């Protein structure tokens, strides 16, 4: 394909343009930025006029639009033409009907924590779902909650905690929204036990791209239910959700330390597949200082772990690892700088993971608060670049090691965050897994690794970031994995990783559901 | 335009943590009305005049400040924006000298609501064994809150009344912030905290109480106040208006409605949010205004001021 064929600005909506990442993303070729082109605004004035006549006022001020200029990643930038904070499913339905009529792109945003620009509007309407943040009903007997889907998980937790309840699993980030999370999966460190957040959904209220308000579940309108969960916003806007919940329990956390990435990953896989703990994850400080987090909801589970599984893993306790590392650096004195970095990291990070106000004895009371604050404090730069790979169990160690090699070449310091994800069935009985972050060859459990550079005070160019991300994503293409960050600036990899047949199948479904292709354009298609 | 250095907003990375405890967010769910929204708008090139509604909406409760993973003085930035919009510069604030000697006196500075409740004021002063300030500086504080220039000479004359004072106990947490600006070094403590530190007061709290902290005072002094109140809550078993981040949820009752925000005494949205889903038999408040708010919310549960705990037997 010639380079000039990538000029997509003149293509009518509904026609899928060649991918702007294109062949340039292949190895050995200079990387380019991949923001979608800005929509040209045709039909906007009529769209706004129609909504105004229905008492829906679009905020077109610079101040109002600037709030949405970027996402959690801070790399992609796009200014919407107008903004609306949706207050009801009916609002959303009216907007989508008008958007179909006037072919106005609508980008939906909850917490806005995407990192590949997925929720950014490049010239169309930015629909902020957080105006729908009410908890509608808590069923304490049956352990379910019905909530509006724009709500932050943290706000939902606030409402549940007062009744001694908690959500089951959600991203370790307090400002993720329920609807956004269900649309992309949602991984927690208890995902090895409970699966992704999308698997906690019992029923949804969805506004389809053509503006119908539909209730769906595993029994009612099942096809829509399966398309919307892990559907990356392509098949509807989730406005309400019924979720499973559970009694609140503080957790007991243990850390095991490794100097070998491969050994740590092998132990993670072993513990995940044995279901030996309630929470499991790997967080590295260096690729020779790896932290395996193991946590429990109950003392019984903790006792069982120590009696049955502890002796079968290789991780050291803090003192044992300190001695091991002291010996290593004594024999490698030229790496003193690295040792100092490690000491500083341990001194600053570890206390943040057990702050007194959020502890009760040795139990963490508010794990999401603790981890979310730590995430933003230590990794939350103005730009966050977090490419990832989602693989089967068999491919996981190789994928992480290859990704680690890429990280070493691009950044002096970075963190790898690895988790397991329980799967509930196959693509046949859970169509939601198809064309998603769930690896196509995973059986029972999937695994994910985020490669997160610590940017510190360095100023890196966008090209540097994009090159780094592309090299990680290239590993996925080579190995036939999936990606947790699935779309936006990396959407070019979706077709490459999953193949034309599967992508075209979903594209046909999308075109049928969204004739004008207005809902969340440039995310997947 | 007077100089009001509003630098700091550029550090906002849009994480949104500051919105979680924000009362305006809780009531409106409109990002532009929060600090994060203001910061993003300014980053995008908006002028202060274009975010006036947002600047005016802020309660100055300070709940966003401890929520930040970054060190951003959110309330100071909002105060400077208000001043800039009113053509006043915070640099015009007077500065005084604090009496650092241990011989300096302590003084109770009531706000308007406590002044009106003479019995409670007298009782509080007696418990604390300190005099009540003759000049509570309410007009100066109102100017500070609304970003307007106080009457000529008033700020200076108010500060003069604090000459020789070592410690101030205040019924309005915003005074802490004002004093930090004009009399740095002066020890300023919230009335509720001061009373709770008296012998026997904490033991009068019951596990079935809901204790409502004055949020401005607490949030401004979060690192010192949070462990103090968390310990009390754990020891007595009483619930508090703290969110999962241990930030005090403001009631909105002590806010100056001159700023144009929506928290009139009739707005019971925040107090209802604080009460929702909790079970308790008594409410203990630090702020006199909250008694009125709870009355307006038609809460059918006994409400007492923290000063009224004195003399109660331990449960």
Average pLDDT, chain B: 88
In angstroms, rounded to a whole number, what is the distance separating the alpha carbons of residues B146 and B140?
Answer: 10
In B, which residues are within 8 Å of A357 by CB distance?
A: 226-227, 230, 246
The mean per-residue pLDDT over the stretch B285-310 comes to: 93
Q: Which residues of B touch chain A, with CB atoms under 8 Å apart?
A: 11, 13-17, 19-20, 29-32, 36-37, 40-41, 43-46, 50-51, 54, 69-70, 226-227, 230, 243-246, 276-278
Residue A339 DSSP SS3: helix
Residue A120 DSSP one-character state: -
Helix, coil or strand: residue A429: coil
- Residue A5 pLDDT exceeds 80: no
A508, containing H or E segment: helix A500-513
Backbone dihedral angles phi then psi of residue B284, each to the nearest 5 degrees: -110, 125
Question: In chain A, whose CA is at the least distance from the CA of B49?
Answer: A63
List residues bridging with A445 in a β-sheet.
Answer: A422, A443
pLDDT of amino acid A489: 87
Structure tokens at A54: 């229905």
Task: Pick the more confident residue, B309 or B258.
Answer: B309
Tokens found for residue A30 = 């200079």
Contacts of B29 in chain A (CB under 8 A): 85, 130-133, 150
Of the residues B190, B206, B238, which one is the last residue of a structural domain? Answer: B190
Average pLDDT over residues A152-177: 94
| Cα A361 from chain centre | 32
CB contact under 8 A, B44 and A376: no
Assess whether pLDDT exceeds 90 at residue A323: yes
pLDDT grade for A353, boundaries at 50, 70 and 90: confident
Which residues span the domain enclosing B240? 196-309
Q: Of the CATH numbers 3.90.79.10, 3.90.226.10, 3.40.50.2000, 3.30.43.10, which one belongs to the domain with range A3-129?
A: 3.30.43.10
- Give residue A346's pLDDT: 87
Indicate yes or no: CB of B20 within 8 angstroms of CB of A70: no
Which CATH number characterizes residue B284's domain?
Answer: 3.40.50
Closest partner residue to B15 among A70, A163, A376, by Cβ?
A376
What is the Cα–Cα distance from B32 to A436, expressed in whole angstroms?
A: 33
Over residues B246-268, the pLDDT tens digits come to 999 999 876 666 666 666 666 78
* Res A9: pLDDT: 52
Q: What is the pLDDT of residues B204-239, one digit of tens each?
A: 999 999 999 999 999 999 999 999 999 999 999 999
**Measured CA distances, B65 to A36, A142, B75 (Å):** 36, 38, 7
| Antiparallel, parallel or unpaired: β A125-128 and A106-109 | parallel
Residue B280 CA to residue B282 CA, distance in Å, equals 6
Phi, psi values for residue A435, rounded to 5°? 50, 60
Residue B61: inside a domain, yes or no? Answer: yes
pLDDT-based confidence at A191, cuts 50/70/90? Answer: very high
Q: Do A174 and B17 touch (CB under 8 A)?
A: yes
pLDDT tier, A14 (very low <50, low <70, confident <90, very high otherwise): low
Cα–Cα distance, B174 to B142 (Å, whole number): 10
Same domain, B215 and B282: yes
Which of A136-145, A317-326, B97-106, B257-266 tops mean pLDDT?
Answer: A136-145
Which chain B positions have a beta carbon within 8 Å of A115's beta carbon?
none
Distance CA B291, CA B285 (A): 7
pLDDT at res. B271: 92
Distance from CA of B306 to the nearest CA of A (A): 23
User: Which residue of chain B has the CA closest to A78?
Assistant: B44
Asked if pLDDT for residue A371 goes beyond 90, the answer is no
Q: Pick the closest to residue A230 from A421, A512, A368 (CA basis).
A: A421
Among B168, B190, B212, where does a domain finish?
A: B190
pLDDT of residue B228: 96
B27 and B60 together in one domain = yes
> Given A70, A158, A384, which is nearest B244 (Cβ)?
A158
Report the SS3 class of residue A489: helix
The CA distances from residue A147 to A156, A202, A238, A409, in Å, are: 8, 12, 11, 45
- Between strands A388-391 and A445-453, the pairing is antiparallel
B315 lies in some domain:
no
My answer on whether B33 and B63 are in the same domain is: yes
B13/A380 touch (CB, cutoff 8 Å), yes or no = yes
Is pTM beyond 0.90? Reply is yes
CB atoms within 10 A of CB B130: 17
pLDDT at residue A26 greater than cutoff 50: no
Tell me whether residue B104 is exposed, middle or buried, using C-beta atoms within 10 angstroms of its C-beta: 0 to 12, 13 to 18, 19 or more: middle
* Confidence grade of residue B91 (pLDDT, cut at 50, 70, 90): low
Same domain, B75 and B149: no
pLDDT at B1 over 80: no
Buried b (16+ CB within 10 A) or exposed e, A240-251: bbbbbbeebeeb
Query: Residue A15: pLDDT band by 50, 70, 90 thresholds?
Result: low
Q: What is the DSSP letter of A147?
A: E
B67 and B20 in a single domain? The answer is: yes
Q: How far apart are CA A438 and CA A434, in angstroms?
A: 7
Residues ≥6 apart with Cβ < 8 Å to A519: A96, A99, A106, A108, A209, A233, A234, A235, A236, A237
For a pLDDT cut of 70, what percent of chain A falls above it? Answer: 93
**DSSP-derived pairing of the beta strands A251-258 and B282-285:** unpaired
**Strand blocks (E) in chain B:** 105-109, 165-170, 187-190, 209-212, 239-240, 282-285, 303-305
Task: Please state which architecture CATH assigns to domain A251-490.
Answer: 3-Layer(aba) Sandwich (3.40)
- Give the strands of the sheet with A388-391, arranged side by side: A359-360, A363-364, A251-258, A289-296, A279-286, A414-422, A445-453, A388-391
CB A454 within 8 A of CB A414: yes
ipTM of the modeled complex: 0.92
pLDDT over threshold 90, residue B93:
no
In chain B, what residues touch A66 (CB-CB under 8 Å)? 40-41, 43-46
Kindly determine whether residue A161 and residue B244, on different chains, have CB atoms separated by under 8 Å. Answer: yes
Task: Give me the residue spans of the domains in chain A.
Answer: 3-129, 131-247, 251-490
Nearest CA in chain B to A79: B44
Per-residue pLDDT at A378: 81
Same domain, B166 and B215: no
Instruction: Check A155 against B20: CB less than 8 A apart.
Output: yes
Q: Are B217 and B192 in contact (CB under 8 A)?
A: yes
A-chain residues within 8 Å CB-CB of B245? 366, 369, 373
pLDDT digits (tens, 9 = 90+) for B124-159: 999 999 999 999 999 999 999 988 888 888 988 998
Does A66 sit within 8 Å of B244, measured CB to CB?
Answer: no
Least confident range from A8-17, A276-285, B51-60: namely: A8-17
- Mean predicted lDDT score pLDDT of chain A: 91
Residue A469 tokens, joined? 């991300």
The pLDDT score that the predictor gives to residue A380 is: 76
- Whether B171 and B265 map to the same domain: the answer is no
pLDDT digits (tens, 9 = 90+) for A439-454: 999 999 999 999 999 9
Q: Are the beta carbons of B32 and A128 separated by less than 8 Å?
A: no
Last residue of a domain, one of B190, B219, B237: B190
Q: Do A79 and B44 touch (CB under 8 A)?
A: yes
Same domain for B30 and B111: no
Residues of A in Cβ contact (< 8 Å) with B31: 67, 85, 128, 130
Number of domain units in chain B: 3
Identify the top-confidence range among A4-13, A34-43, A301-310, B55-64. Answer: A301-310
In a domain, B71, yes or no: yes
* CATH assignment, A131-247: 3.30.465.10
């Amino acid at each position: 394909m010639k380079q000039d064929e990538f000029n997509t600005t003149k293509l009518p909506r509904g026609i899928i343009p060649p991918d702007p990442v294109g062949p340039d993303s292949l190895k050995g070729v200079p990387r380019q930025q991949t923001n979608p082109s800005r929509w040209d605004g045709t039909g906007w004035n009529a769209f706004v006029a129609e909504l105004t006549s229905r008492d829906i006022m679009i905020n077109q001020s610079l101040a109002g639009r600037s709030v949405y200029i970027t996402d959690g990643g801070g790399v992609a930038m796009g200014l919407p033409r107008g903004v609306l904070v949706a207050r009801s499913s009916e609002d959303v339905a009216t907007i989508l009907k008008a958007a179909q009529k006037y072919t106005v792109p609508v980008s939906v945003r909850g917490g806005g924590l995407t990192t590949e620009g997925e929720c950014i509007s490049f010239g169309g309407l930015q629909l902020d779902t957080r105006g729908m943040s009410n908890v509608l009903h808590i069923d304490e007997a049956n352990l379910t909650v019905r909530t509006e889907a724009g709500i932050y998980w943290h706000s939902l937790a606030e409402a549940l905690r007062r009744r001694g309840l908690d959500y089951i699993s959600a991203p370790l980030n307090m400002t993720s929204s329920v609807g956004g999370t269900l649309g992309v999966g949602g991984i927690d460190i208890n995902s090895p036990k409970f699966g992704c957040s999308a698997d906690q959904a019992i029923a949804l209220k969805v506004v389809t791209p053509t503006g119908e308000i539909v209730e769906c579940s595993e029994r009612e309108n099942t096809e829509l239910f399966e398309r919307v969960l892990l559907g990356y916003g392509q098949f509807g806007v989730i406005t309400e959700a019924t979720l499973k919940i559970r009694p609140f329990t503080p957790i007991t956390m243990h850390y095991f330390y490794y100097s070998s990435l491969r050994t740590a990953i092998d132990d993670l896989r072993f513990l995940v597949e044995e279901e030996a703990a309630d929470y499991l994850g790997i967080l590295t400080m260096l690729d020779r200082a790896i932290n395996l987090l193991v946590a429990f909801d109950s003392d019984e589970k903790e006792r069982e772990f120590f009696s049955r599984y502890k002796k079968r893993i290789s991780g050291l306790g803090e003192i044992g690892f300190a001695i091991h590392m002291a010996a290593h650096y004594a024999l490698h004195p030229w790496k003193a700088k690295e040792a100092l970095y490690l000491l500083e990291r341990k001194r600053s990070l570890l206390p943040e993971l057990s702050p007194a106000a959020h502890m009760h004895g040795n139990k963490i009371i508010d794990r999401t608060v603790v981890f979310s604050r730590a995430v933003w404090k230590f990794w939350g730069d103005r730009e966050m670049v977090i490419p990832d790979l989602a693989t089967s169990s068999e491919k996981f160690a190789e994928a992480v090691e290859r990704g680690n090699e890429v990280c070493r070449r691009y950044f002096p310091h970075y963190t790898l965050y690895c988790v397991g994800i329980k799967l509930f069935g196959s693509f046949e009985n859970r169509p939601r897994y198809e064309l998603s972050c769930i690896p196509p060859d995973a059986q029972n459990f999937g695994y994910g690794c985020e490669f997160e550079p610590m940017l510190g005070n360095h100023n890196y160019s966008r090209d540097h970031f994009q090159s780094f991300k592309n090299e990680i994503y290239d590993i996925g293409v080579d190995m036939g994995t999936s990606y947790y960050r699935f779309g936006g600036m990396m959407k070019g990899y979706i077709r490459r990783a999953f193949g034309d047949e599967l992508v075209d199948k979903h594209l046909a479904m999308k075109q049928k559901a969204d004739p004008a292709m207005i809902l969340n354009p440039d995310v997947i298609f | 335009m007077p100089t009001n250095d509003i630098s700091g907003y550029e550090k906002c990375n849009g994480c949104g943590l500051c919105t979680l405890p924000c009362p305006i967010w809780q009531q409106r769910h409109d990002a532009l009305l929060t600090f994060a929204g203001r910061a993003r708008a300014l980053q995008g090139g908006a002028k202060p005049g274009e975010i006036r509604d947002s600047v005016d909406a802020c309660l100055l409760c300070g709940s966003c400040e401890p929520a930040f993973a970054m060190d951003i003085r959110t309330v100071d930035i909002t105060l400077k924006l208000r001043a800039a919009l009113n053509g006043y510069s915070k640099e015009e604030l007077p500065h005084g000298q604090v009496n650092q000697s241990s011989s300096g006196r302590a003084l109770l500075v009531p706000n308007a609501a406590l002044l009106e409740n003479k019995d409670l004021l007298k009782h509080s002063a007696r418990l604390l064994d300190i005099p009540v300030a003759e000049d509570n500086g309410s007009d100066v504080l109102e100017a500070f809150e609304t970003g307007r220039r106080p009457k000529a000479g008033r700020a200076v004359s108010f500060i003069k009344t604090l000459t020789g004072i070592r410690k101030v106990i205040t019924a309005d947490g915003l005074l802490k912030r004002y004093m930090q600006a004009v009399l740095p070094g002066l020890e300023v403590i919230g009335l509720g905290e001061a009373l709770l530190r008296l012998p026997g007061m904490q033991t009068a709290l019951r596990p079935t109480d809901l204790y409502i902290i004055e949020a401005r005072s607490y949030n401004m002094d979060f690192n010192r106040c949070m462990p103090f109140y968390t310990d009390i809550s754990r020891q007595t078993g009483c619930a508090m208006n703290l969110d999962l981040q241990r930030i005090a949820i403001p009631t909105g009752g002590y806010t100056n409605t001159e700023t144009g925000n929506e928290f009139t005494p009739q707005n019971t949205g925040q107090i209802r949010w604080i009460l929702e889903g909790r079970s308790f038999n008594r409410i203990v408040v630090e702020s006199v205004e909250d008694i009125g708010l709870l009355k307006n919310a038609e809460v059918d549960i006994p409400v007492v001021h923290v000063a009224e705990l004195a003399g109660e037997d331990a449960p």
